[in-house]
Amino acid sequence: MKYKLALITLCIITAFNCKSKETVTLQTDFNFDWNFKLEDTVAGIHDTEWKKIKLPHDWSVTNKFDSIKGEGATAYLLGGIGYYKKDFYTQLNSNQVAYILFDGVYNNATISLNNKELGFHPYGYSPFYYDVTSALNENGNKNTINVKVDRTRYADSRWYTGSGIYRNVKFITKNKLHIPIWGSFITTPTVTNKLATVSIQTTINNKFNSSKTAILSTTIYDTNNVVVNTNTKNITVAKNTTLKDLATIKVTDPKLWDIDSPTLYTAITTITQDNEVIDTQKTKFGIRSIKFDANTGFYLNGKNRKIKGVCLHHDAGLVGAAVPKGVWRRRLQTLKNIGCNAIRISHNPASNEFLDLCDEMGFLVQDEFFDEWDNPKDKRKNMNEKSVDYITRGYAEHFQEWAEIDLKNTVLSHRNHPSIFQWSIGNEIEWTYPRNANATGFFNNIDWSGNYFWSLPPNNISTIKEKLKTLPKAKYDIGETAKKLAKWTKELDTTRYVIANCILPSSSYESGYADALDIIGFSYRRVIYDYGHKNYPNLPLMGTENLGQWHEWKAVMERPFISGTFLWTGIDYMGESNKGWPKKGTSSGLLDVAGFKKPSYHMFNALWNTEPNIYITSQTLDKSIYKLDANGNPLEKQDGKWKTALWQWHNVNEHWNYNNNTVTVVEVYSNCTEVELFLNNKSLGVKKLSNFEDHIYKWAVPYKKGTLKAVGLKDGKKVESTITTTTKPTTIKLTTDQKKLTADGYDVAHIIAQLVDKNGNPIKTENQIINFSVSGNATVLGVDNGSITNTQNFKSNKIKTSKGRALLIVQSLQDKTTPINITVNSASLKSNQITITLEPKKN
């Protein structure tokens, strides 16, 4: 009990404001009360006054989209130089040390404390920290931390990155005898349903000038906060040294972390001297086992599972890269609802907050380190760099000096997350080493003509080997770099699989690249799954970047040796829009940039979800991808075109509003074995899924206003979907995903405005400019309509709907509890009122 009481005392987070003073002790949320100003070297803006902000903060997303000075690669949003500062006070005693921890700053950040430079950190995605003890002023005197972020290379990526301190910051105070940041590593080397072995590796730093003796104790708690088991031992740490301790704890009848039941345990490690707890480390972890087999695929806790994954970039539409946890939760839950069970963080390490959500919600995660290695990519065109340009200089500029530091910081920071099951050392790196592309025979080969996506390698294995030997070598070798990255990873963690996303696997197998991997990932190369398995049978393989189409999933389902796939992408993202204005991003997602479901989402619900489901779309025959056969049934205009469909879902509507008697094609996405379609309660026939090779039910239907209803049957269960002809809009319907928020400055609510007709049917064929009115204690984070071509500034209360709808996100204010009232109106329509109550934060 004495340990528990001491721990409760030590774990209290103290952060209080006395007018302008903030005193920080123990582990303090360091996100509040920052000041910011911007020097935009492109637009000629220079803020003369500081403005108060809260972290996380992305200044680029607050800018206007700029089609002239901006670059489509990074969503036409500019960068510049951002300056951050924060004043605070400390009450350290002579036995304490202090650290500041940044989970991510984009990018080229210089950090100073009290005019003493702490360091420079170029990579925008890796966490880092500094021991600030010696730079602090005496207790009671003001400290000022300054962060300069140089984002003048505003097209330094192939996707939208954001700018600034866009992830969480913590100020941490510890005893000089302490567990350092990232000093605890928990693994589960043996796992059964009856017994699990938990291994706890703890690092202890002694910064005293004398040897110290203490008690090191780790207690494991279950989800109900009940003690499971404890390990206690005496330790002695020599002066100014580090000790690494390894403890083993048995857990009987463990509840395993799984996709469907992501149970988390908590390990609390304490250092005690003279009956006083002087340091503590709280670590959440999961008990689970993972295995990849080259012939039979992936196993989680001994059960063979298919990886139903999606790739995600790190922006979330209107909030940019500074994404509140609640925004990610809504998006991830929407994906989870269709059976998605894995996320590939592309193409950079995730935030710890994002990984926390994946731990809690039951997502497997591939955490990816780099998009560039030794050589740069062309940010505007992908592949190898075509021209040298200051604004496009990215991480390759820093790779030689910083790769090991950034990789190891990421592994140390992330390795306790049970969601992570793969470390990816790189994404489509082969483009940047030209001889690898040339060796395949696909390119610069007059004897080959075809489509790279669907063609087998023109060069056989012996020819590829020969070309890799004879083609001129560049300064850096892809195989040597890959082995170096894999080695650094395994120095810190051997419990996950090292993988890479290979765009040219036929050369990667022979260049030494694949030799560095535990499993190889194929990028858009499902056509050579059999080639890879036949010729390199000992290396497991899977799809790591694939099209969101049935043909991709069909290839996985037909091959037990393919563990699964990561679709490109789960959600539309900003950027990678070379000269595509007003297209500000890439619309390959199952959800759009506002998190609204797209038709492809419902298709994958039919493919990935086991529960009966059904969804209707429609399109006029002339605009569809179909023609009618002699019997009046729809068939593809290009026979078999579905087998090579690329990123974009074909053009369909989610409404039933056309001119009378216009021939339409009604598509039904369903996992039901048979579906019957009705128009105004008249049956248009029963069809069976087995008759549709493309997995899409289809009917040709002359349009008549009214209601289309599809009724599906699966395993004796019936489900139905309807779409109804709408009339003119009469009101705007507001809905929210949260009716209560915590007044902590973080919690968010999503408010959807939808035009509806007199019968309450959502109108998807008409749009209006609407204005949100928000009162109470809330920050308006912005508005969006989900359209990838919407280039209105997000930071507004006004928006034109798309498909009759729009999204507003509001965030609570810290310690402010006046209810939030929200309405919306257009020139002719009004809405209902949404009221969101605010509850005080619980200590």
In a domain, 176, yes or no: no
**Residue 344, C-beta contacts closer than 8 angstroms, at least 6 positions apart:** 309, 310, 311, 312, 365, 366, 368, 424, 501, 544, 545, 566
- Distance in Å from the first CA to the final CA of the chain: 21
Residue with tokens 């989610």, as numbered in its chain: 654
**Last residue in a domain, options 260, 285, 310:** 285
Query: Do 613 and 671 form a contact (C-beta atoms < 8 A)?
Result: yes
**How many Cβ atoms are within 10 Å of 190's Cβ, its own excluded?**
13
Digit-coded pLDDT (tens) for 82-136: 999 999 999 999 999 999 999 999 999 999 999 999 999 999 999 999 999 999 9
Question: Do both 426 and 316 map to the same domain?
Answer: yes
User: pLDDT over 70 for what percent of the chain?
Assistant: 97
580-598: average pLDDT: 97
* Pick from 568, 598, 147, 573: nearest CA to 320: 573
Check residue 9 and give its pLDDT.
32
Q: How does pLDDT run across 258-278, given as a tens digit for each residue?
A: 999 999 999 999 999 999 999
The pLDDT tens digits of the residues spanning 650-677 come to: 999 999 999 999 999 999 999 999 999 9
Instruction: Identify whether residues 490 and 390 lie together within a single domain.
Output: yes
167 Cα distance to chain centroid: 13
- CATH number for the domain harbouring residue 274: 2.60.40.10
What is the spatial distance between Cα 503 and Cα 544, in angstroms, rounded to a whole number?
10
Residue with tokens 């593809």: 636
**Nearest-angstrom CA–CA distance, 165 and 102:** 8
Q: Coil, helix or strand for 359?
A: helix
Shared-domain flag, residues 269 and 357: no
Q: Residue 780 pairs with which residues in a beta bridge?
A: 810
What integer pLDDT is reported at residue 8 of this predicted model?
Answer: 34
What is the rounded distance in angstroms from the CA atom of residue 17 to the CA atom of residue 21? 6
- Which has the closest alpha carbon to 513: 473, 483, 468? 483
Domain final residue pick, 285, 312, 336: 285
Q: Give a yes or no: residue 595 inside a domain.
A: no
pTM of the model: 0.94
The boundaries of the domain holding residue 757 are 731-839
Looking at the domain assignment, is residue 14 inside a domain?
A: no
Question: Could you tell me the CA-to-CA distances from 161 to 106, 151, 193, 585, 617 in Å, in that order?
Answer: 7, 10, 43, 12, 34
CATH of the domain at 148: 2.60.120.260
Note whether 660 and 678 are same-domain residues. yes
- Report the alpha-carbon distance of residue 113 to residue 134 in Å, rounded: 10
Q: How confident is the model at residue 22 (pLDDT cuts 50, 70, 90)?
A: low
Average pLDDT of the chain is: 94
Q: Taking a C-beta distance cutoff of 8 angstroms, is the pair 781, 754 a contact?
A: no
Determine, yes or no, domain membership for 143.
Answer: yes
Tens digits of per-residue pLDDT, 144-194?
999 999 999 999 999 999 999 999 999 999 999 999 999 999 999 999 999
In a shared domain, residues 238 and 327: no
Is residue 517 pLDDT above 90, yes or no?
Answer: yes
Specify whether 384 is located in the same domain as 462: yes
Last residue of a domain, one of 678, 701, 724: 724
Residues 350 and 411 in one domain: yes
Give, in degrees to the nearest 5, the angle at Cα 684 between 682 and 687.
140
Asked if 392 and 418 sit in the same domain, the reply is: yes
Structural domain includes residue 10: no
652 vs 590: CA distance, rounded Å: 14
Residue 573 CB partners (closer than 8 Å, separation 6+): 159, 160, 312, 313, 315, 585, 586, 589, 593
pLDDT category at 448 given cuts 50, 70, 90 is confident
C-alpha span between 534 and 49 (Å, rounded): 65
How many domains is the chain partitioned into structurally?
5
Residues whose CB falls within 8 Å of the CB of residue 271, separated by 6 or more in sequence, listed in order: 175, 177, 178, 179, 204, 214, 215, 216, 277, 278, 279, 280
Instruction: Check if the beta carbon of residue 250 is closer than 8 Å to that of residue 196.
Output: yes
The pLDDT, as a whole number, for residue 179 is 97
CB 321 within 8 A of CB 576: no
Nearest to 648 by CA among 666, 625, 628, 668: 625
State percent of the chain over pLDDT 90: 91
Residue 156 lies in a domain: yes
Q: What are phi and psi of 268, to 5 degrees?
A: -115, 115
- Predicted confidence at residue 449, as pLDDT, reads 80
Residue 602 lies in a domain: no
pLDDT tens track for 401-429: 999 999 999 999 999 999 999 999 999 99
Q: Say yes or no to pLDDT of 618 above 70.
A: yes
pLDDT digits (tens, 9 = 90+) for 343-384: 999 999 999 999 999 999 999 999 999 999 999 999 998 777
Place of tokens 């037990």: 560
The verdict on 773 and 807 lying in the same domain is yes
Residues 711 and 796 in one domain: no
Residue 85 is assigned to a structural domain of this protein: yes
Q: Does the pLDDT of residue 4 top 70, yes or no?
A: no
Residue-wise pLDDT tens digits, 198-242: 999 999 999 999 999 999 999 999 999 999 999 999 999 999 999
Query: Are 489 and 616 part of one and the same domain?
Result: no
Same domain, 189 and 267: yes
